[in-house]
Amino acid sequence: MQDPLLRYRSEFPILERTNYLISNSLGAMPRGVYASLKNYADTWATRGVRAWEEGWWMLGAEVGDELGALLNAPKSSVSTHQNVTTCQAVVASCLDFSGKRNKVVYTDMNFPSVMYFWEAQRARGARVHMVKTDDGITVPTGRLLDAIDEQTLVVPISHVIFRSAYINDAKAIIEKAHRVGAYVVLDTFQSLGTIPVDVQALNVDFACGGVLKWLCGGPGVAYLYVRPDLGQKLEPRLTGWAAHQQPFNFEVGPIRYTDPPFRFMNGTPHTPSLHSARPGIKIIGDVGVESIREKSKRQTAKLIELADQRGWRVNTPRVPEKRGGTVAIDMPDSQEVCRELLRRDILVDWRPQAGVRMSPHFYTTDEELEAAIGAVDEILKNRSVPTR
Ligand SMILES: Cc1ncc(COP(=O)(O)O)c(C=O)c1O
């Protein structure tokens, strides 16, 4: 039976030439980006500085709402930024580490940039507690929950782990944090667009991610959801004129904060990236994350089955409910294999402690998965590397 999601393939030019299994890193570009960026250039060329009041100034908030619809976030609760590291910095700038409650709890499975950022907050008084993985695939939820105590200020945590695609138990982590009075910053970079995310059902304090992977939105746009009750009272010290009640009055002196989402923004926005982000966000909404998730569970299971048949190590959870959109396969000589796959226009990546990461998305055919694994067979055979 024909897979209905394959009707979107023609929207992605790169799929005509390439076996594109790398949406965990950079999603394929939708054809609509050409028109979107042309619209940006035409507006700049013809309207000049008037473009700001005719749309550009508000664009960050509009794209925030479009992303908010995918997150089931209320209107005006999502601000846009350049990257996730900046989103963490905006959150941290709302917090005070000088009191007894100054502990930051996370795991070594977080994305390193997020880790580097919070480690650096030690200089501001943060006490960092890192919970280590036992197996390089999962997060020890029990130990993580135990570490979240009355002195914990914030728990920055990935929803889906970039290395292994393990799905963290966000609900349990958020419930425990709230029981002891701590905030959770949920990094949904590897979840939004491939598994359902509902910030209201989770009752999470902050959620952030970028659009360039599963949302096919290109580099330069990240989003930060702030729960509306917090959005009204938090005061980010990483701030600027976009967060002012009257930005165009150019008042001297301290900031007078406006409401979200602009309250959490700061300087001049990343207008070209906001344009390139829109077509991908729209397509993901049209396709529907539930359908994407169903297909992803089936195709990631297929990859695991093909790897198992060959005796290759799979560094991704086998239980579909705990697995995001990526399968990490550590076949013999996996780094070399990755290089050769790239040479053959089969786009994947390789990460230490993970192996070759393959990420089918809604536009991937089953034949492409078979072709990728078949290519690995051939590479290993030609190199005479043992497969077990
Ligand atoms: C879970 C996760 N968080 C964050 C990032 C990147 O952070 P930034 O947007 O700051 O580059 C990535 C990958 O690039 C990621 O997989």
Query: Would residue 181 be called left, alpha or beta, if left means φ above 0 and alpha means ψ between -120 and 50 degrees?
Result: left
Atom of ligand 1 nearest to the CA of 161: 1
Give me ligand 1 centre to Cα 212, in Å. Answer: 10
Give me ligand 1 centre to Cα 84, in Å. Answer: 6
Give me ligand 1 centre to Cα 208, in Å. Answer: 10
- Asked if residues 131 and 147 have their Cβ atoms less than 8 Å apart, the reply is yes
Single out the residue of 175, 181, 174, 132 nearest to residue 153, CA to CA. 181
Give me ligand 1 centre to Cα 228, in Å. Answer: 24
Amino acid at 379: I
Atom of ligand 1 nearest to the CA of 88: 10
pLDDT at 1: 63
Single out the residue of 214, 209, 223, 219 nearest to residue 325, CA to CA. 214
Give me ligand 1 centre to Cα 88, in Å. Answer: 11
pLDDT at 330: 96
Amino acid at 282: K
Q: Going by C-beta distance under 8 Å and a sequence separation of 6 or more, which residues neighbour residue 11?
A: 30, 31, 32, 283, 363
Give me ligand 1 centre to Cα 91, in Å. Answer: 16
Give me ligand 1 centre to Cα 381, in Å. Answer: 35
Atom of ligand 1 nearest to the CA of 110: 1
Question: Distance between CA 217 and CA 28 in Å, rounded?
Answer: 8
- Asked if residues 182 and 195 have their Cβ atoms less than 8 Å apart, the reply is no
pLDDT at 382: 87
Question: Distance between CA 259 and CA 372 in Å, rounded?
Answer: 49
Give me ligand 1 centre to Cα 110, in Å. Answer: 9
> What are the Cα distances from residue 176, in Å, to 95, 182, 184, 338?
19, 8, 10, 40
Give me ligand 1 centre to Cα 311, in Å. Answer: 31
Single out the residue of 150, 148, 100 nearest to residue 126, CA to CA. 100
Question: Distance between CA 361 and CA 348 in Å, rounded?
Answer: 12
Atom of ligand 1 nearest to the CA of 86: 10
Protein residue whose Cα sits closest to atom 7 of ligand 1? 84
Atom of ligand 1 nearest to the CA of 160: 1
Query: Is 210 in a helix, a strand, or coil?
Result: strand
Top mutation candidate among 85, 113, 116, 206 for ligand 1, by most atoms within 8 Å of CB: 113
Atom of ligand 1 nearest to the CA of 85: 10
Sign of CA dihedral 230, 236, 241, 247: positive
Atom of ligand 1 nearest to the CA of 24: 16
Q: Going by C-beta distance under 8 Å and a sequence separation of 6 or more, which residues neighbour residue 45?
A: none
Q: Quick one: tokens of 205?
A: 């304090």
Give me ligand 1 centre to Cα 253, in Å. Answer: 35
pTM: 0.96
pLDDT tens digits in sequence order for the chain, 388 residues long? 689 999 999 999 999 999 999 999 999 999 999 999 999 999 999 999 999 999 999 999 999 999 999 999 999 999 999 999 999 999 999 999 999 999 999 999 999 999 999 999 999 999 999 999 999 999 999 999 999 999 999 999 999 999 999 999 999 999 999 999 999 999 999 999 999 999 999 999 999 999 999 999 999 999 999 999 999 999 999 999 999 999 999 999 999 999 999 999 999 999 999 999 999 999 999 999 999 999 999 999 999 999 999 999 999 999 999 999 999 999 999 999 999 999 999 999 999 889 999 999 999 999 999 999 999 999 999 875 444 4
Pocket of ligand 1 from Cβ distances under 6 Å: 83-85, 111, 113-114, 158, 162, 187, 189-190, 210, 222
CB neighbour burial string for 190-203, b if at least 16 within 10 angstroms, e if fewer: bbbbbbebebeebe
Read off the DSSP letter of residue 244.
B
Question: Distance between CA 381 and CA 384 in Å, rounded?
Answer: 5
Top mutation candidate among 111, 213, 359 for ligand 1, by most atoms within 8 Å of CB: 111
Residue 195 phi, psi (nearest 5):
-130, 150
**Helix runs in the chain, H state only:** 32-47, 57-71, 84-92, 112-120, 141-147, 170-180, 199-202, 228-233, 271-287, 289-309, 334-343, 366-382
